[in-house]
Structure 1
Amino acid sequence: MTEPFLIGESMTGGYGRGADILHDCTIAVNPGEIAVIVGPNGAGKSTAMKAVFGMLNIHKGSVRLDGEDITHLSPQDRVAKGMAFVPQTSNIFTSLTVEENLEMGAFLRRYDIRVTMEQIFDLFPILRDKRKQAAGELSGGQRQQVAVGRALMTQPKVLMLDEPTAGVSPIVMDELFDRIIEVARTGISILMVEQNARQALEIADRGYVLVQGANRFTDTGAALLANADVRKSFLGG
């Protein structure tokens, strides 16, 4: 069986010299897949995502991208390898326009970015309408679209989203999930942390339920939704 395109395997570690938060945790995703990390508050979901992106030290385990060991690469070097990360908060430049935010996402690009920007505007039409407006004036859902769009300007192979629907209405959440599905269909790997577990698992090819920094359940999104123990413990019955 071939190895997943991106895998954080048997990761154990935490922040600085503090106690370990992750305990033998494994997260993986293939091209065109949506992998979702869910679990209770304090389960280590965002920590697992940050470990994959190189934002904290792991002293056991490894992270590999397309077969290459990237465990010791900085986040900046991982971006150059094709990874993009959208944090939950402080993920846009509020004083810059929508268009300027997207241009900032192309900082590593050495060639014309207009085609990619038009692709972002096709994905998020409201951003085309508001391209000259300061991003700080947008609604929460529109800001998330800017943040995702800016990450896509790097033309990543892997898009990592930390709580992309936090604080938005159910209608906006559904719209964002629809756009995430569209991105995955282009062949980009999606790795996502979500509090809205049931809705996220509905669109997930694979899901990871973490508890206290360790894998509790790992399966397809559909199988996890059908699992009585998962429903009872993590999805409200």
Structure 2
Amino acid sequence: MAEPFLIGENMTGGYGAVDILHGCTLAVEKGEIAVIVGPNGAGKSTAMKAVFGMLKLRGGAVRLAGEDITTLTPQARVAKGMAFVPQTQNIFTTMTVEENLEMGAFLRRDDIKGTMAQVYDLFPILKTKRYQAAGELSGGQRQQVAVGRALMTQPKVLMLDEPTAGVSPIVMDELFDRIIEVARTGISILMVEQNARQALEIAHKGYVLVQGSNRFTDTGQALMADPEVRRSFLGG
């Protein structure tokens, strides 16, 4: 079988002398959505940071399109086509929406107008507010700016850490709709999400992490239907 487009395989690592990840594996194919769920403290965000190179691994490897990128810096991974949207402090609050998007394209040397138009098509409210300071926007709109800025890098992989944290259910549904649209363009999406049930509904693949290890791995639909997953992680 061909290897997944992006894979963090048997990742072991943590902070200081303490390992948080214990042989954890995450993978996503081109144009698919892979969702990581699990209880608080399960190592979900740590696993994302490991895939993006923000955490040095003691064991395991990360490969993108068959290339071993385990030792690359996060900046080098961006150049390879990875984009990461952290849960907090993910926008420049004093800059306008448009300046935030321009900052996302800082590595590019080509014309960014086409990509910016695509971001505005995806998030029409951002076009309306493009000259407004990003810090004045609602929580959901800030998240759109953060995702839009990541898309300005023209990524092959978009990594999202809790993209719907702190937003209303209506805004959450809208963000998930936009995430589906992004995946349809061929971009791989790997995301951590607290709203596990809703996230698994849109996921091609789901990972349930417990204490830094894989507890369940299956399609989103199969995990939703699994009695033990429902009882332990989805509230029945």
Structure-2 residue corresponding to 1:2 = 2
Runs of 4+ in 1 over 2 A off after TM superposition: none
Measure the CA separation in 2 of the matches of 1:235 and 1:106: 38
Paired residues in the alignment total 236
Structure-1 residue corresponding to 2:12 = 12
Measure the CA separation in 1 of the matches of 2:141 and 2:123: 9
Structure-2 residue corresponding to 1:223 = 222
Q: Which amino acid aligns with 1:179?
A: R
Structure-1 residue corresponding to 2:200 = 201
- TM-score, length basis structure 1: 0.99
Give the % identical residues: 83
Measure the CA separation in 2 of the matches of 1:184 and 1:55: 24
Within-5 A mapping of 1:1-237 = 1-15=1-15, 17-237=16-236
Q: Which amino acid aligns with 1:130?
A: K
Describe the superposition over 1:183-209 as per-residue Cα deviations: whole angstroms up to 9, x where unpaired: 000000000000000000000000000
Measure the CA separation in 2 of the matches of 1:139 and 1:200: 22
- Point out where structure 2 has 5 or more consecutive residues left out of the alignment: none
Measure the CA separation in 2 of the matches of 1:196 and 1:227: 17
Measure the CA separation in 1 of the matches of 2:165 and 2:126: 20
Describe the superposition over 1:109-148 as per-residue Cα deviations: whole angstroms up to 9, x where unpaired: 1011001000000000000000000000000000000000
SS in 2 for 1:20: strand
Give the C-alpha shift of residue 85 in structure 1. Answer: 0.1
Q: Which amino acid aligns with 1:144?
A: Q
Measure the CA separation in 2 of the matches of 1:219 and 1:18: 32
- TM-score, length basis structure 2: 1.00
Describe the superposition over 1:20-57 as per-residue Cα deviations: whole angstroms up to 9, x where unpaired: 00000000000000000000000000000000000011
RMSD: 0.4
SS in 2 for 1:21: strand
- Point out where structure 1 has 5 or more consecutive residues left out of the alignment: none
Give the C-alpha shift of residue 18 in structure 1. Answer: 2.9
Measure the CA separation in 1 of the matches of 2:184 and 2:76: 26
